[in-house]
């Protein structure tokens, strides 16, 4: 395998792992939240993402990622549409 092909493959795998970590973070944050329906009186039910979290954890563990480490929030500001301070460009406009 040529070096460039190897690097491209490693970059694709890293992007998949990053996407799984962001998805895992979002699901952990929302797991157990109470959802309200728009009927009267509002129907309430608890969101459960335990099955999805188990599947993501299994995939991350297969990739060699330790899922027992603390979750880090996804950071914005590493792309062209953000200015690097973690906020969208127009966040401080009034």
The low-confidence residues of the chain, meaning pLDDT below 70, are 1, 74-94
Q: What is the pLDDT of residue 15?
A: 87
Q: What is the pLDDT of residue 5?
A: 80
**93 part of a folded domain:** no
**18 part of a folded domain:** yes
Host domain of residue 37: 8-62
**87 part of a folded domain:** no
Has this prediction a pTM greater than 0.75? Answer: no
**31 part of a folded domain:** yes
What domain count does the chain have? 1
Query: Where does residue 3 rank: exposed (0-12), middle (13-18), buried (19+ CB within 10 A)?
Result: exposed
**82 part of a folded domain:** no
Q: What is the pLDDT of residue 55?
A: 95
**76 part of a folded domain:** no
**43 part of a folded domain:** yes
**69-85 confidence digits (pLDDT tens):** 877 776 666 555 544 55
**79 part of a folded domain:** no
Q: What is the pLDDT of residue 6?
A: 76
- What is the Cα–Cα distance from 91 to 94, expressed in whole angstroms? 8
| 3-state helix/strand/coil string of the chain | CCHHHHHHHHHHHHHHHHHHHHHHHHHHHHCCCEEECCCCCCCEEECCCHHHHHHHHHHHHHCCCCCCCCCCCCCCCCCCCCCCCCCCCCCCCC
């Amino acid at each position: 395998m040529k070096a460039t092909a190897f690097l491209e493959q490693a970059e694709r795998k890293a992007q998949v792992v990053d996407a799984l970590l962001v998805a895992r973070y979002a699901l952990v944050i929302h797991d157990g939240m109470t959802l309200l329906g728009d009927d009267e009186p509002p129907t309430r039910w608890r969101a459960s993402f335990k099955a999805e979290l188990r599947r993501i954890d299994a995939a991350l563990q297969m990739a060699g990622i330790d899922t027992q480490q603390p979750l880090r929030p996804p950071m914005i500001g590493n792309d062209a549409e953000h200015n690097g301070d973690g906020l969208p460009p127009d966040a401080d406009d009034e």
